[in-house]
Amino acid sequence: MNVKLKLTLAIAAALAAPAAQTDAAHGVDTSEWKCESCPFPTAYESEVDVGALYVDEDSAKFGEYNGLDEKGGYPALSASGGKRNTSGMYFNYAVSDLGFDPKARLAAGKEGRFEARLAYDELPRNAWDSTVTPYSHSGKDTLVLPSGWARAGSTAGMTSLAGSLAPQRIGTERTALGAGLDYLFGDSLKFFADFRREESEGSRLGGANFIMQALQFAEPVDATHDQFKVGAVYRFKYGFARLSWYGSEYDNKLGSVTFDNPYLPQATDTLLGRKALAPDNQAQKLSLDGNFRLPWWDGVLNYRFAQGTMEQDDLLLPLSTSTALALTVPLPRARLSGDVDTTHYRASLSLRPHSRLRGRVGYRFDERDDNTAPFALAGYVESDSAIAPAASSIRYGYERTRLDAYGEVRVLDWLYLSGGAEQDEMKRSNLVTHKTEETRSWGRLRVRPHATVEVTGTYGEAHVDADGGEYTVQAFIPPENPLLRKFYLTNRDRDFADGMLTWTPWRLSFALQGSYANDEYRLSELGLKSSRDYRYAGTASWAVSEKISVYATVSYQNIVTEQEGQEGLPASVLPWRATHEDEFETAGGGIQWRDIGGKLDLGLDYTYAGSRGSIDTEAAAPDVAGAFPVLRSRLNALRLTAGYDVNERLSVHLSFAREDYSSSDWALQGIEAATMRNLLSMSADPYDYTVNVIGLSFRYRFGSGAEQGEE
C-alpha cells in the first residue's frame, strides 16, 4: 500500500468516525462491510512456464554458469505458486530452469510465528571444452598414461603422444541443498537455524612438475562442504541483539592425485608424481552483534564481537613417490595438526546533534593467531626428483586495528561539506616488515544548485609507513634481493579524487562519474614503483511515456603500473623495467515498450565489453627485452524479448540472444600438447565463440486471484 493510499484511508477513517457513531445510533448494520482497498490472496495461485531453448553452437565459456554449453535443444520449465489464508498460514514455492540449471525453493509457515524453508540448486562451472590429454583415469585419484608410452627427456621425443591425445572437458558441477527454520516467541525473540550442503564433482585444469619438466592434467574434484548457522535475535524498544554460531566442515574425498611421469625420470624410480589436494578442514565462529538507539542526538551504536577457530588435521603425504628418496629424509610428523584462532571486534557510533550536522566514529580490531606447532625438515624432496636442503615451516599471524571518523555539515540548503579520516595499523609476525601504519584523509563537497542537479567532488590522500622504512630481508632459499620491496609491506603514498554530476530534468536522467588514484612507492628501489588508475562512467535514461523507456551506459578504465627488478646478486648485474597497461571499456543500451495495444511487451538490450592489456619491458640484455603480445578480449551481446497476453491467464513469450566473444592470450594461443619442450600441455585455447539462443515459452496462471478480506 503506497503512502498516498495510506493517507487517504486515514483521513477517510477520521472523517467517518462521527458518522459511524451516528449510523450506529440509528441501527446501521456494518457487519457485512468489506475493505475494498486491502485485498489479500486466500485461494491457491500459481504460474507455470513451459517452453524450450535452442542453442546453435557448443561453447564452454558461453555456458560457463548457465548450463547451456552444448549445441541442441533444452526444455525450459519453471513454476511458482502459493497460498495464504486469513489465519496467517501460508506456503509458497518456486522452481526454475528445469532442464539445464535447476533451482527450487519452498517456504511454509505462519505469519508472526514460524517459517520453514527448503532450497535446492545446481551450478555448473564449464571451463574448457577444447582441452586434450593422453591421461585416462584409473579410479578418481589416479591418472595413467597409455600402455607402451615412450618416455623422453622432452615432449619432442614422446613418439606416442600424438596418437594418445583424447578430448577432456574441464569443469565442475556443484549441487547445493539448504534448509532453514525461523521461530518467533512473541514480538521480541526469534530463533533461527540454517543448513547448507554443497557437493562438487568434476575436474579443474591442474599442473605439476618434475624439476624443470612440467605437465598439465585434469585435476579431479570430489568434495563436500557443510555449513551450519544457529542463533537467536532479541528485539527491544531501542535496538536488537543477535547471538549466532557458524560452523563449516569441508570434506575432500580425494586427498591427493597420483599421475604417471611422462618424462624420463631424473631419479631412477620416480615413475609417478603425486600432488596434494585441498585438505579436510573445519571452522567455527561465535558472534554477537546488534545496535542500540541512544535517547539523544539520534544516536545509534552498532557493535559486533566474533571469535573463531580453524582446524586442519589431514595426514601429511610421503615426501616422494620415490622409495629411495623418501627414505633419505623422514617426515617431521604424521599430521599437520593445524590450529588457527581468529578474533574480530567492531563498533561504531553515529550521531546527529543538529539537523544540519551528522557524524560517525568507528573502531575495528582483527587478529589471526596461528597456533600450529612449527616444524623443521632436515631436507625434503623437490618435485619427486631430487633431495633439497633443510627447510622449516614458518607460521604467520597478524593484528589489525582500524580507527575511522566521518562528519558532514549542511552549510546551506544547497551546500554540504563532509570529510573523514582513518588510521589502519597492521602488525605481522615472521615477515620482512613487522608493522605498517596507513593514515587516510579526505574531504568532499556536495552542491545542489537546483532540485534536479547535484554535483559531488572528493579529494584525499593516504600514506603507508612500514617500520619507519626498515625492511629486514629473511634468509630464504633461493635468497631474496635485499633491494626488493613487496608492495604491501613497504612505504606508499597515494592521492585520489572522484567527482559525480547528476541531472534529472523532466523524464530524463543523466549521471557522469570520474575517479583517479595514484600510488608512489618512493622507498622501493626494486619491485612495484608506481600505479595509476583512472575511471570514467556515464548513464542516461529517458521515460518516453508510461509505456516506453530507454537507457544507455558507457564506462572506461585505465590502469598503468611500473616495476623494476634485476637479475643477479648483489649489484645491478642485469637490471630490467616492466610497464603494464590495462584498459577496460563497456557500453550498453536498451529499450522497453510495454502494454502495446494492451497485449504486447517488447524489449531490446545490447552490451559491449572490451579489454586490452600490454606489457612492455626494458632490460640491460637487449635480446630479452621488448613488448609481449597484446592481450585482448571483446564481447558483443544482444537480447530481444517479446511477450503477448492471449488472455488474462495465458501469455506467450519469445526470446532471442546472441553473444559474440573473442580473446587473444599469448600464454594459451598456439600452445599445443608438444609446442614447448618442457611442458606437456592440455592445449587450452583462448575463448572465441559466437552463440545464438532462441526460446519459446507459454505461461499460464492458475487460481482465482485476490480475495477481499473482511473488515
List pLDDT tens digits, range 588-598: 999 999 999 99
Task: Compute the chain's Rg from CA coordinates.
Answer: 32
Q: pLDDT grade, residue 35 (50/70/90)?
A: low
All three cell numbers of 196, joined, read 547448507
Residue 595 sits at φ, ψ, to 5 deg, of 55, 50
Q: How far apart are CA 475 and CA 432, in angstroms?
A: 10
Residue 491 sits at φ, ψ, to 5 deg, of -65, 145
pLDDT tens per residue, range 661-680: 999 999 999 999 999 999 99
Who has greater pLDDT, 2 or 161? 161
Output the average pLDDT for the chain: 89
Residue 278 has pLDDT above 80, yes or no: yes
Say what the pLDDT of residue 474 is: 65
Identify the bridge partners of residue 398 per DSSP, sorted by sequence position.
368, 428
Q: Decide: 466 and 511 in contact? Cβ < 8 Å.
A: no
Say what the pLDDT of residue 382 is: 83
Please compute the mean of the pLDDT values over residues 547-571 and round it to a whole number.
89
**The length of the chain, given as a count of residues:** 711
Please compute the mean of the pLDDT values over residues 558-566 and round it to a whole number.
94
Residue 252: count of CB within 10 angstroms of its CB? 18
Say what the pLDDT of residue 321 is: 87
Please compute the mean of the pLDDT values over residues 508-518 and round it to a whole number.
97
pLDDT tens per residue, range 148-199: 899 999 999 999 999 999 999 999 999 999 999 999 998 899 999 999 999 9
Residue 29 has pLDDT above 80, yes or no: no
Say what the pLDDT of residue 34 is: 57
What is the percent of the chain with per-residue pLDDT over 90, rounded to a whole number? 74
The CA-CA-CA angle for residues 91, 97, 99, to 5°, reads 120
Please compute the mean of the pLDDT values over residues 613-642 and round it to a whole number.
89
The CA-CA-CA angle for residues 644, 649, 655, to 5°, reads 30
Say what the pLDDT of residue 622 is: 66
Say what the pLDDT of residue 711 is: 33
Q: Write the CA distances from 400 to 82, 197, 313, 494, 610, integer angstroms.
A: 49, 32, 27, 20, 38
Please compute the mean of the pLDDT values over residues 611-624 and round it to a whole number.
85
Say what the pLDDT of residue 708 is: 41
Q: How far apart are CA 514 and CA 501, in angstroms?
A: 9
Q: How far apart are CA 400 and CA 535, in angstroms?
A: 30
Q: How far apart are CA 450 and CA 379, in angstroms?
A: 73
Q: How far apart are CA 350 and CA 364, in angstroms?
A: 15
**Centroid of chain to Cα 358:** 33
Q: How far apart are CA 381 and CA 650, in angstroms?
A: 69
Residue 16 has pLDDT above 60, yes or no: no
Write a three-state SS string for 218-243: EEEEEEEEEEEEEEEEEEECCEEEEE
Please compute the mean of the pLDDT values over residues 454-473 and round it to a whole number.
87
Q: Pick the most confident of 37-41, 229-233, 326-330.
A: 229-233
Contacts 24+ apart (CB under 8 A), 302-306: 302/346, 302/347, 302/348, 302/349, 302/350, 303/346, 303/347, 303/348, 304/344, 304/345, 304/346, 304/347, 305/344, 305/345, 305/346, 306/342, 306/343, 306/344, 306/345
pLDDT tens per residue, range 71-123: 999 999 999 999 998 888 999 999 998 888 899 999 999 998 999 999 999 99
Q: How far apart are CA 367 and CA 698, in angstroms?
A: 55
Please compute the mean of the pLDDT values over residues 418-428 and round it to a whole number.
95
Residue 20 has pLDDT above 80, yes or no: no
- Amino acid residing at 133: T
Please compute the mean of the pLDDT values over residues 240-269 and round it to a whole number.
94
Who has greater pLDDT, 363 or 477? 363
Say what the pLDDT of residue 477 is: 58
Q: How far apart are CA 490 and CA 645, in angstroms?
A: 64
Give residues with Cβ within 8 angstroms of 620, minimum separation 6.
573, 574, 575, 576
Who has greater pLDDT, 283 or 626? 283
All three cell numbers of 17, joined, read 468516525
Residue 163 sits at φ, ψ, to 5 deg, of -80, -5
Q: Which helix (H) or strand (E) holds 54?
A: strand 45-55
Burial (CB < 10 A; 0-12, 13-18, 19+), residue 597, is exposed
Give residues with Cβ within 8 angstroms of 170, minimum separation 6.
60, 127, 128, 129, 131, 202, 203, 204, 205, 218, 682, 684
Q: How does strand 376-377 pair with strand 391-392?
A: antiparallel
